[in-house]
Amino acid sequence: MNIKRNILLNPGPATTTDTVKMAQVMPDICPREKEFAGLMRQLRADLLRIAHAPAEKYTSVLFCGSGTINIDICLNSLLPANGRVLVINNGAYSSRAVEVCRYYGLPHIDLKSSVFAQPDLNEVERTLAENPDVAMVYTTHHETGTGVLNPIRQIGAMAHRHGAIFVADTTSSLGMIPFDMEHDNVDFCMASAQKGLMGMAGLSFIIGNEEIVRKSQEYPKRSYYCNLFMQYDCFERTGEMHFTPPVQTVYAAIQALKEYFQEGEAAKFARHKRVMEAIHHGLEEMGLREAIRRDIQSGLVASVRYPDDSNWDFTCIHDYCYERGFTIYPGKISTTDTFRLCALGAIDEPDIKAFFRTLREAFEAHGVQVPAKYDED
Ligand SMILES: *Cc1c(COP(=O)(O)O)cnc(C)c1O
């Protein structure tokens, strides 16, 4: 079978290999068969290895849903009665966590700061000192909306000094930027199969401290479908998801993990870096400017400012590229118009070079000036 290869420069789902796509084509199976439970048991163990989470202390729990289901589950399941959540919020994904708190009526502090910068750790420390009822500190590791990387190790250490657990949304970093649950002071992290792992959408997972998961059995139950302990307990007793798993997506994830370990953590990280270097280089050549300082970037997302050119129209440029197999994505910064170019997925430097040839053509076709014009000049 010949499957057209599209280069996805959006922040996930990412470009996948044909072998991952084809892994979904399998004989029909009832997921309640022991054979399928065995596959999920191995998958859960392999996910721990990616997060460097020793199996004696950590567990991984799978869910059927997109990545946001993890945010929902961690917040509603891991907050004891009388506890408060502190959300360290410098972007769209932490704002989503604040919204989840609001929907469940969870007591929370929204420690909001500029989306163009990392959070101020002194302010985090002060907030924790002033609010001893904070039982959970929550933040996003890589704010995919901007590309800012947050200092989780320091934030986790502060949370622990103040007796709180630390939950990090690592949806857009796990499997790309190497990290270590223990060393980085993370009690719970999360991701979905279609980002760093280069699998298919529909399977998400939480990796966390098993003792805390067990303790959460005593916490208020705020959701039926999205409860962490309930799903964990079901996996431990039966090896299965409580409800129907996304069978074909699980097959794809298993193949994706096989390819992850074949490529290797360090080589994969180096490839993502190489892709982002090529993106930075291509942007510079076209005079396009970024919204976020290089030294706080994750190396996985570039937020590119719209040129101040009357012929610029994101949709037209997007459509030109899309018709030629390249997907670019709108930004998520409310005060500045940006689009995003991301280094996720099964792509490499030559794909980015080919993309910039197409982008340049798109500019020419629509009369957008190269090098790009900006009013501040
Ligand atoms: C992609 C992403 C999510 C999940 O988004 P879904 O659309 O639900 O898959 C959550 N957090 C971050 C940081 C993300 O990048």
pLDDT score, position 133: 98
| Mean pLDDT to the nearest integer, 116-145 | 98
Other CB atoms within 10 Å distance of the CB of residue 45? 12
pLDDT score, position 14: 96
CA 143 to ligand 1 center in whole angstroms: 10
Q: How far is CA 213 from the centre of its chain?
A: 22
Structure tokens at 371: 């090098």
Residue 121 pLDDT > 90: yes
Q: What is the DSSP letter of 345?
A: S
CA 211 to ligand 1 center in whole angstroms: 26
Domains 23-261 and 265-365 share a fold: no
Atom of ligand 1 nearest to the CA of 172: 15
pLDDT score, position 169: 98
CB contact at 8 A, 52 and 179: yes
* 209-225 per-position pLDDT tens digit: 999 999 999 999 999 99
Q: How far is CA 344 from the centre of its chain?
A: 10
pLDDT score, position 2: 84
pLDDT score, position 357: 98
Q: How far is CA 125 from the centre of its chain?
A: 26
Q: If we measure between CA atoms, which residue out of 131, 170, 178 comes closest to residue 150?
A: 170
Atom of ligand 1 nearest to the CA of 142: 13
Instruction: Name beta bridge partners: 143.
Output: 148
pLDDT score, position 183: 97
Residue 1 pLDDT > 90: no
CA 11 to ligand 1 center in whole angstroms: 9
Percent with pLDDT over 70 in the chain: 100
Residue 59 pLDDT > 80: yes
* Residue 40: C-alpha distances to residues 45, 46, 121, 260 (Å): 9, 10, 39, 17
* Residue 367: C-alpha distances to residues 17, 179, 320, 362, 370 (Å): 35, 44, 13, 9, 9
* 260-306 per-position pLDDT tens digit: 999 999 999 999 999 999 999 999 999 999 999 999 999 999 999 99
Q: State which of 64, 169, 206 you would mutate to test the pocket of ligand 1, scoring each by most atoms of that ligand within 8 A of its C-beta.
A: 169
What is 23-261's CATH number?
Answer: 3.40.640.10
Alpha helix positions (H), the chain? 18-22, 34-50, 68-77, 92-104, 121-130, 152-161, 210-215, 228-238, 247-263, 265-285, 314-323, 349-365
Tell me the domain boundaries of the chain. Answer: 23-261, 265-365
Given strand 329-330, what is the order of strands in its sheet?
301-305, 338-342, 329-330
Helix axes 314-323, 349-365, angle to 10 degrees: 130
* Residue 201: C-alpha distances to residues 68, 74, 109, 205, 250 (Å): 12, 19, 31, 12, 10
* 22-54 per-position pLDDT tens digit: 999 999 999 999 999 999 999 999 999 999 999
* Residue 296: C-alpha distances to residues 118, 147, 188 (Å): 7, 8, 23
Q: If we measure between CA atoms, which residue out of 178, 174, 177 comes closest to residue 189?
A: 174
Which residue's C-alpha comes closest to atom 5 of ligand 1? 67
DSSP collapsed to 3 states, 69-131: HHHHHHHHHCCCCCCEEEEEECCHHHHHHHHHHHHHCCCEEEEECCCCCCCCHHHHHHHHHHC
Q: State which of 64, 174, 192, 329 you would mutate to test the pocket of ligand 1, scoring each by most atoms of that ligand within 8 A of its C-beta.
A: 192
Q: What whole-number distance in Å separates Cα of residue 175 and Cα of residue 208?
A: 16
CA 169 to ligand 1 center in whole angstroms: 9
Kindly report the pTM of this predicted structure. 0.98
- Name which CATH class applies to 265-365: alpha beta
Mapped onto helix, strand or coil, the DSSP state of residue 258 is helix
| Mean pLDDT to the nearest integer, 350-354 | 98
Number of H helices, E strands in the chain: 12, 14
* 191-204 per-position pLDDT tens digit: 999 999 999 999 99
Structure tokens at 180: 């270590």
CA 322 to ligand 1 center in whole angstroms: 22
CA 366 to ligand 1 center in whole angstroms: 32
